[in-house]
Structure 1
Amino acid sequence: MTRTEPAHRRRRNFVLAGLGALAIALAAWAILRKPPQKPPPPHPIPVSAVRAQAQDFQLAVTALGAAQAWTSDMIFAQVSGKLIRVNFKEGSEVKAGQVLAEVDPRPYQAVLAQAEGTLKRDEAALAGARRDLVRYQNLQAEGGASRQQLEDEEAIVGQDEGAVEFDRGAVAAAKLNLEFCRILSPINGRAGVRLVDPGNLVSANGSVSSVANTSSAASSAAPTGSSAGSSSSASTGPSSNTGSSGGAGIVVVNQVQPIAVTFSVPEGEFRRLIDASGGFSRPLPVRASSQETGEVLDTGVLSAADNRVDQGTGTVELKARFANPGKRLWPGQFVNVSLGVQDLPSAIVIPLSAVNRGPNGQFVFLVGADNKATMRPIALVAVQGAVAVVKSGVKAGDVIVTDGQMVLSNGSLVRVAHLAPAGSPGP
Structure 2
Amino acid sequence: MGNTAAPEETKADSPAIVRIAQAQSGPFDVEIKALGTVTPLASVTVRSRVDGELVRVHFREGQHVAKGQLLAEIDPRPYRANLAQAVGERQQSEAQLTQARRELAQHRTLARDGYTTQTKLDQQQALIGQFSGAVAANDARIADARLQLEFAAIRAPITGRIGLRGIDAGNLVRAGDTAEIATITQMQPISVIFTIPEAQIDAVRAAMQAGALKVKAWDRGERAELAEGRLETIDNRIDPGSGTLRLRGTFSNADEQLFPNQFVNIRLGLQTVANAVTVPAAAVQQGNTGPFVYIVDKAGLARRREIAPGPSDGERMQILRGVVPGERVVLEGFDRVKDGGKVEIVARSAGVPAAK
TM-score calculated relative to the size of structure 1: 0.73
Other-structure match for 1:68: 39
**2:316 aligned with 1:387, yes or no?**
yes
Deviations 1:1-33 (A, max 9, x none): xxxxxxxxxxxxxxxxxxxxxxxxxxxxxxx9x
Deviation, structure 1 residue 410: 4.8
**2:142 aligned with 1:171, yes or no?**
yes
Seen in structure 2, the aligned counterparts of structure 1 residues 408 and 318 have a Cα distance that, compared at 3 Å, is: closer
Deviates more, 1:405-414 or 1:285-294: 405-414
Deviation, structure 1 residue 398: 2.2
Deviation, structure 1 residue 300: 1.8
What is the percent sequence identity of the aligned residues?
Answer: 37
Deviations 1:102-149 (A, max 9, x none): 000000111111111111111111111111111212221222222111
Q: Which has the larger radius of gyration?
A: 1
Q: How does 1:121-136 map to 2 (within 5 A)?
A: 121-136=92-107
Residue 367 of structure 1, aligned match among 292, 296, 305? 296
Other-structure match for 2:65: 94
Deviation, structure 1 residue 414: 4.4
**2:289 aligned with 1:318, yes or no?**
no
Aligned equivalents of 1:76, 1:254: Cα separation in 2: 14
For 2:296, give the aligned amino acid. Answer: V
Q: Partner of 1:345: helix, strand, or coil?
A: strand
Asked whether the equivalents of residues 222 and 265 of structure 2 are also in contact (C-alpha less than 8 Å), the reply is no
Deviation, structure 1 residue 394: 1.5
Asked whether the equivalents of residues 351 and 386 of structure 1 are also in contact (C-alpha less than 8 Å), the reply is yes
Deviations 1:208-260 (A, max 9, x none): xxxxxxxxxxxxxxxxxxxxxxxxxxxxxxxxxxxxxxx11211000011112
Asked whether the equivalents of residues 49 and 419 of structure 1 are also in contact (C-alpha less than 8 Å), the reply is no
Deviation, structure 1 residue 402: 1.6
Deviations 1:7-61 (A, max 9, x none): xxxxxxxxxxxxxxxxxxxxxxxxx9x9xx9x99x97655322121123223333
Aligned equivalents of 2:199, 2:17: Cα separation in 1: 42
Residue 158 of structure 2, aligned match among 171, 183, 187? 187
Deviates more, 1:386-395 or 1:306-315: 306-315
Residue 55 of structure 1, aligned match among 23, 26, 29? 26
Asked whether the equivalents of residues 50 and 419 of structure 1 are also in contact (C-alpha less than 8 Å), the reply is no
Asked whether the equivalents of residues 20 and 331 of structure 2 are also in contact (C-alpha less than 8 Å), the reply is yes
Other-structure match for 2:196: 265
Aligned equivalents of 2:268, 2:90: Cα separation in 1: 63
Other-structure match for 1:157: 128
Asked whether the equivalents of residues 297 and 329 of structure 1 are also in contact (C-alpha less than 8 Å), the reply is yes
Residue 276 of structure 1, aligned match among 186, 202, 207? 207
Other-structure match for 2:179: 248
Residue 83 of structure 1, aligned match among 32, 35, 54? 54
Which runs of no fewer than 5 residues in structure 1 stay unpaired? 1-31, 207-246, 421-425
For 1:72, give the aligned amino acid. Answer: S
Seen in structure 2, the aligned counterparts of structure 1 residues 359 and 113 have a Cα distance that, compared at 3 Å, is: closer
Aligned equivalents of 2:220, 2:190: Cα separation in 1: 18
Aligned equivalents of 1:46, 1:308: Cα separation in 2: 50
Deviates more, 1:178-187 or 1:378-387: 378-387
Deviations 1:371-391 (A, max 9, x none): 444443321113442422100
For 2:257, give the aligned amino acid. Answer: R
Seen in structure 2, the aligned counterparts of structure 1 residues 126 and 359 have a Cα distance that, compared at 3 Å, is: closer
Aligned equivalents of 1:146, 1:357: Cα separation in 2: 108
Other-structure match for 1:401: 330
Aligned equivalents of 2:16, 2:126: Cα separation in 1: 113
TM-score calculated relative to the size of structure 2: 0.87
Aligned equivalents of 1:408, 1:310: Cα separation in 2: 43
Seen in structure 2, the aligned counterparts of structure 1 residues 356 and 332 have a Cα distance that, compared at 3 Å, is: closer
Deviation, structure 1 residue 411: 4.9
Aligned equivalents of 1:264, 1:309: Cα separation in 2: 10
Other-structure match for 2:176: 205
Deviates more, 1:74-83 or 1:395-404: 395-404
Asked whether the equivalents of residues 52 and 172 of structure 2 are also in contact (C-alpha less than 8 Å), the reply is yes
Seen in structure 2, the aligned counterparts of structure 1 residues 358 and 117 have a Cα distance that, compared at 3 Å, is: closer
Deviates more, 1:150-159 or 1:372-381: 372-381
Which runs of no fewer than 5 residues in structure 2 stay unpaired? 350-354
Aligned equivalents of 2:239, 2:333: Cα separation in 1: 45
